[in-house]
Amino acid sequence: MHTDDDTTRRRTGTALAALLAADGLAHLYWATGATWPAPSERALSLAVLGTEVSFAPPVVLPLAALTLTAGAAVLAHSRHRGGRAARAVTGAVAAGLAVRGLAGLGWAAGLLPSPPGSPFHALNLAVYTPACLGFGWAAARLARAR
């Protein structure tokens, strides 16, 4: 029988793994040359990153592998599997999301440059930063769990 803490841990791990899997699958999709939801690679890059960066397979495939592997490790840790390695990866996910969330606050405050008029500013405020801060906090709590 699972305790309430165990249930929360499993749900948190599932949510984090789903986020990482969705990110990984998006990168695999972009590796095909598709640019949805943007009309072009340039527009996609400006919306997702706020700057022009290649979405070519050599760039996005390693990111896909990283996020999918991280998702599997987080899921394993949330189920008391994977030992220290899974816990360490969960901690690294927490740190990465926290750094991205703090950078998002920097962009929102105008401390970091972003192209004027790009969709990145609104997406950063409405989606990217809150998601990174919230999921980063959840990953940190999960990483502390033994």
Residue ranges, the chain, pLDDT below 70: 1-2
75-103 residue pLDDT tens: 999 999 999 999 999 999 999 999 999 99
- Side-chain-facing half-sphere of 125: CA atoms under 13 Å: 8
Separation between Cα atoms, residue 22 and residue 4, nearest integer Å: 27
Which one, of 143, 13, 42, lies nearest residue 89 by Cα?
143
Q: What's the pLDDT at 1?
A: 56
Peptide bond into 62 cis (omega under 30): no
Alpha helix stretches (DSSP H) within 33-144 = 41-49, 57-78, 83-108, 119-123, 129-144
Question: 95 in helix, strand or coil?
Answer: helix
